[in-house]
Structures are given as C-alpha cells and as structure tokens.
Amino acid sequence: MPRERRFKVFDFSMSETANHNYALRKYFFLIAALVVLLDRISKWTVAASLPLHNELTVIPGFFQITHVENAGAAFGLFAESTVHWKVAALVTFSLIALIIVTVLLWKNSHSVSTMTVGLSLILGGAFGNLWDRIVDGHVVDFLDFHIGAYHWPAFNVADSAIVVGAILLVAEILFAKPSSQAVKSSS
C-alpha cells in the first residue's frame, strides 16, 4: 500500500484545471509580447525613415505621423521637466506597474475576460515604453491627431495598448455581471 504524504508543500503535479490555467497564461503573455513587437517595429520604422521633428500628413487636418522623442511620461507629461532623476523615477514607476500587472494577470488567468485581455495590453504597453526608457532615456512617439486648433499630444503603439487596456478594465468594473455566488452570498 502506497504511503500517503501528510504535507503537500512539495507536490508539483498539475491538475487538469491547472494545466488549463497554464495554457491560458501563455495566450495572455503572447498578447503582451505582440504589443511589444508591434511597438518596437513601429518605433524603429519611424526613427529609421522619418527625421526627428519631421512629419508625414496622412489625413490632412486630422492625422499625421511625426517623429518626436518624449522624455516625459505618457502623452508628453513631464517632458519639459529638468529634474535630473526624472528618467529613473519613470523607470521605477514602470517596473512597479509591471510587477503589479504581472501578478494580477497571473492570479486571474483562469479564464479569458475583458480584465485579462486589458491587463495583457497594459503589460505589453508598459514593457514597450520601459524598454525605450532604459535603452534610450526617452520614448519615440509618432501618432499625431488634431482637429482644428485642438491638438492631442503624439503617442505610440505602447501608449495605445495601455489606454485600450485601461478602458477594458474600467468596462469590466462598470459593466461586469455579478457572479451567481456573489448574488447568493449577498441575499
């Protein structure tokens, strides 16, 4: 008769559910990796083919591709700051955000949901911009929208992924239907 273990601390066998969760995690991290890849390719293409501060009009009066280097945060926040520790602070903040998002994604990767896709997009976008800050000390922004006198600050694929991911998280919070267990426990 096999001996039963009293402690399962070192039991590394995976149940069918755990295998399913692991399989889903791969997809969420694949989404993040695709965001990083698209971000890197687009920034490299713009930096290689469009001189700094030049622009290419795509839709007159609305959209152009421009080449700017953003030493600040998203959408140019703090770009004009002369504080010498700005890049270190932005890198530190990005690393903290990456850790938090990765933990949240790891813990909630048991199903495909608006939240997990949103977290994947945020993870990829944050990593894409962090890469630039560590390597170059700035981020290449190139998507430039304006309507009449109103001009939105230039941004990039990583910024777009972060914003779309945040919108998905807000949508999940605002519009998610309560689970049947939550309804039962509150009655």
Q: pLDDT tens-digit profile of 101-157?
A: 999 888 887 788 899 999 999 999 999 999 998 898 889 999 999 998 899 889 999
Catalytic annotation present for 136 = no
Q: Is the pLDDT of residue 76 over 60?
A: no
Q: Is the pLDDT of residue 179 over 70?
A: no
Q: Which two tokens stand for residue 88?
A: 């270190």
Q: How far apart are CA 83 and CA 53, in angstroms?
A: 23
For the chain, the C-alpha Rg in angstroms (whole number) is: 21
Catalytic annotation present for 159 = yes
Q: Which two tokens stand for residue 143?
A: 């998507």
Angle between helices 114-136 and 157-175 (to 10 degrees): 150
Q: What are the backbone angles phi and psi of residue 70, rounded to the nearest 5°?
A: -105, 110
* Helix ranges restricted to H, 50-151: 86-107, 114-136
Q: Is the pLDDT of residue 80 over 80?
A: no
Q: How far apart are CA 40 and CA 161, in angstroms?
A: 13
Beta strands in 27-93 (DSSP E): 55-59, 63-70
DSSP label at 75?
A: G
- Note the pLDDT of residue 84: 66
Q: Is the pLDDT of residue 173 over 90?
A: no
Which of 39, 132, 144, 159 is an active site residue? 159
At 170 the three-state DSSP class reads helix
Q: Is the pLDDT of residue 78 over 80?
A: no
Which of 39, 132, 141, 144 is an active site residue? 141
